Amino acid sequence: MASNPFSLQGKVALVTGANTGLGQGIALALAAAGADIAAAGIVPADETGEKVKALGRRFLNVDANLISIEPVTRIVEETVAGLGGLDILVNNAGLIRRADAVDFSEKDWDDVMNVNIKSAFFMSQAAGRHFIAQGRGKIINIASMLSFQGGIRVPSYTASKSGIAGITRLLANEWAAKGINVNAIAPGYMATDNTAQLRADEDRNKAILDRIPASRWGEPADLGGTAVFLASSAADYVNGAVIPVDGGWLAR
């Protein structure tokens, strides 16, 4: 084991949806641990890039619409060409649409499933081919409390995040012996754009905070330590785990 098993010095990490929120928090934590960062998404992650560069790491924007799986091979190829390799994939990009199940539209179902689960699988496949060829790699999927629970008014989000837990375990089963660690982080209630509607609802916000032992919403930076751990050699014998980072929500 390395003298500092948590160091990511010399590693390249590809983070989808890194322009804001959880993706940005994870990208900055990986950069602070030594990794160069490629950010893939439809919105350029310029702010993230400036912060990564301020940490002394290289940064690459990769334009990609993850509602379609068409760009996944290109994303990996551009990352390898632009930063000289690929060691870590973080499947963070995600959508959420809210409506009662009896009113939920097919478009809202398809858009969420395409980004949250379909793109995550095929990004993992594209990166996995590269990792298998080099004999090592780390994949971190972003799951959810709704990988464990049903939730309300988010049917496609619940289905997609339940699926993330499943494919995390499946890929770990297939690839652990090839030197590839596939794991997931399940964030609790985090203060991001996706939860702005919930936080603005006074009654719902209070109900959520009353349930969280830590008595606060999580921040994107709260995921950083777990992401660095799973991306590092310290987690070389961690396979197929879905790790909650939730302020104690599931323990309640």
Contact 202, 8 (CB under 8 A): no
Q: What is the pLDDT of residue 69?
A: 81
Place of tokens 């921040």: 219
Distance CA 18, CA 48 (A): 7
- Displacement of CA 182 from its chain's centroid (Å): 12
**Domain spans, the chain:** 12-251
* pLDDT surpasses 90 at 96: yes
Marked catalytic residue, from 59, 121, 157, 175: 157
- The SS3 assignment for 126 reads helix
Per-residue pLDDT band at 32 (split at 50, 70, 90): very high
124-155 pLDDT, tens digit each:
999 999 999 999 999 999 999 999 999 999 99
Q: Please check the confidence at residue 40 and state whether its pLDDT lies above 60.
A: yes
Residue range 78-94: average pLDDT?
A: 98
**What percent of the chain has a predicted confidence (pLDDT) above 90?**
94
Q: Is the pTM of this model over 0.85?
A: yes
CA–CA dist 194, 190 (Å, integer): 9
pLDDT band at residue 197 using 50, 70 and 90 as cut-offs = confident
Alpha-carbon span 241 to 236, nearest angstrom: 12
Q: Give 68's pLDDT tier (boundaries 50, 70, 90).
A: confident
CATH code for residues 12-251: 3.40.50.720
pLDDT beyond 80 at 2: no
> Which pLDDT score is estimated for 67?
87
Q: Mean of the per-residue pLDDT values for the chain? A: 96
Q: Is the pLDDT of residue 1 over 90?
A: no
Instruction: Look up 157 and say whether it is catalytic.
Output: yes
Res 232: pLDDT: 98
Residue 231 pLDDT grade (very low, low, confident, very high; cuts 50, 70, 90): very high
State the pLDDT at residue 151.
94
**Neighbour tally for 204: CB within 10 Å:** 12
Could you report the per-residue pLDDT of 70-83, keeping only the tens digit for each?
899 999 999 999 99
- Cα separations in angstroms, 37 against 41, 127, 221: 13, 15, 16
| pLDDT tens-place string over residues 149-194 | 999 999 999 999 999 999 999 999 999 999 999 999 999 999 998 8
